[in-house]
A and B are shown apart, each in its own frame.
Chain A
Amino acid sequence: MSNSPDFTEDQREYLQEICNIGMGQAGASLSVLFEQYVTLSVPSIEVISAENATESLRRLIPAEQISAVRQGFYTHVTDPNFCGESITIFSGTSFEELAQLIAFEEELTAELEQELLLEISNIINGACLSGIAEQLLERFFHTPPSVIGQNIAVEDLLQTDQLQWDHALSIKIKYSVEKQSFECDLLLLMPDFAVKYLQEVLNKLLDEL
């Protein structure tokens, strides 16, 4: 068992600052792309433990039924490196609205509904992460998105017996689009070994202030 990664107050504040700026940029470019005003909540940052992962997720995502897409992100593979996975969570989303969002005109089949989830997740996630990466002076690479499940329970997001970390940093951002009921949550999750690298980067940036 590793200890929960402790952030100093400076580190935490700076991380929050970086996320806020990153989300501002992401919101701006998403608004241009979707041609609608996109609002992003202030990112809420916390450390969750593998032991209580299910409880934490249930608290973070109160919806009963969700559809979720995962995508990996990482910097160059050095040791330690920065990596994590983002999970985009849709609850009570109408596919017609999602289709409108990106002017998707084909008739919706089950496959195309999945493609919509993947496409919108990739866009939202990409916008967010590039916002954060720019602030950290890092470059993130991504894996292709994949569907975790449609109409599943929050408990099914993580297979808690297969986790290879003890603690993870969680950054939650809520998205909403003006004039639409569309809402989704983005969870950026980083395992403890990646958090160490993040703290190093934060320290370096703090020193340069």
Chain B
Amino acid sequence: MTNKFPYAEDVVDCIDNGVFVVDKNFKVHLWNDFMSIHSRFSADQIIGLKLFECFPELPQKWFERKVKSIYLLKNQSYTSWEQRPYLFKFPHGRSVTGGVEHMYQNCCFTPIFDLDNNVECVCVTIKNVTDLAIKAKQLKDAVVQLEHISSIDGLTQLYNRAHWEQRFKTEVERVKRYKSKVSLIMFDMDHFKKINDQYGHLAGDKVLKQTAERCLNLFRSVDVIGRYGGEEFCIFLPETDITNTGLVAEKLRHIIADTPVNFKSKEIFISASIGFTCSSEKENNYETLIKEADDALYIAKNNGRNQCINFLDSTSDD
């Protein structure tokens, strides 16, 4: 026999992790101070009792399965807060700073062997990882926020050009692969510079915001709308042919031109020049499609504004 440190059992109570031991019938054999402090049971009260009788809220079947595998395979087993936030719903110790409802826990289940190398009981340790969990969650939220910021145009809340182009590029790839179709509408507010000069930049901003809102009301949720730059907008419509796109473009022209924008109790009359095109059955390239819609838009401008031009018509006329 080695000379055993006489206070070895006290050391278990000094560990700032939960430590307890159960046998295969889930009778508790050890329960350290951490466990006493965080639960309603002191060691004296719980030792000798069955764990599930004291904590009926524990996932019993899950726990039994876990312990069964440890007895059989003589192997450690784990849980992590990311998948299973806690084993025991303990308070978190952030009574003032808050932000969480319970202690997040990483747990480890370790077999304890008898002299014949059979599993005698299972030791469970519980690590408080609440602070880590909070930091990880904050990081996750920040990433989501950053993704939003980097893809959205602040003024109109539509997608910004970079994000919209990325989405359109992916869509054109999809069209190529599955031999489907996509239509593209691009439009530009008419005489926007005049509006800015006459009513001020705040009025111009309101016109852009209103236009974005009207677009969001008109288009389907599968259509992807972006602010292409300045007063130019772009929308791609998956699985939509040129005829239907023409109808939507005309509707769009109306909802913009039919209602003036109210700014400081003045009515600002607005309109847009609209160009549209559709993918072809042969060859598709997202840059070409953008150029086509843009060319059609340019024709609409030159023809006197406030109108829709179909790129496919404009070329057959030539």
Residue ranges of A at the interface with B (Cβ–Cβ < 8 Å):
29-30, 32-33, 102-106, 111-112, 114-115, 118-119, 122-123, 126-127, 130, 142, 144-146
Contacts and interface: CB of A to CB of B under 8 A. Distances in A.
Contact of B65 (A102, A127, A142): A102
B80 A122 contact: no
Contacts of A123: 69, 73, 75, 77
Contacts of A127: 73, 75
Contacts of A29: 72-73
B61 A105 contact: yes
A121 to B, nearest CB: 10
B52 interface: no
Contact of B80 (A105, A112, A118): A118
A144 B80 contact: yes
5 contacts: A32-B72, A111-B83, A127-B75, A144-B78, A144-B106
Q: Which 10 A-B pairs have the closest CB atoms?
A: A126-B75, A115-B83, A144-B78, A111-B83, A114-B83, A33-B72, A127-B73, A126-B73, A29-B73, A33-B69
A145 B78 CA distance: 8
Contacts of B69: 33, 102, 123
Contact of A115 (B68, B75, B84): B84
Contact of A33 (B73, B76, B83, B84): B73
B79 interface: yes
A5 to B, nearest CB: 28
Contacts of A105: 61
Given A123-B69, A123-B77, A130-B74, 8 more contacts: A30-B73, A33-B72, A111-B83, A112-B83, A115-B83, A119-B77, A130-B73, A144-B108
Contact of B79 (A32, A33, A115, A126): A115
Contact of B76 (A114, A115, A142): A142
Interface string B257-296: 0000000000000000000000000000000000000000
Contacts, number: 55
Interface of B: 59, 61-62, 65, 68-69, 72-80, 82-84, 106, 108
B260 to A, nearest CB: 48
A99 to B, nearest CB: 11
Contacts of B73: 29-30, 33, 123, 126-127, 130
B82 A114 contact: yes
A175 to B, nearest CB: 14
A122 B68 contact: no
Nearest to A114: B83
Nearest to B72: A33
B83 A126 contact: no
A117 to B, nearest CB: 9
B78 A118 contact: yes
Contact of A146 (B61, B75, B80): B80
Contacts of B72: 29, 32-33
B78 A122 contact: yes
A122 B83 contact: no
Most chain A Cβ neighbours within 10 Å, of B72, B75, B106: B75
A103 B77 CA distance: 16
Nearest to B79: A115
B75 A130 contact: yes
A43 B174 CA distance: 41
A127 B108 CA distance: 17
Nearest to A123: B69
Nearest to A34: B69
B160 to A, nearest CB: 28
Contacts of B79: 115
Contacts of B82: 111, 114
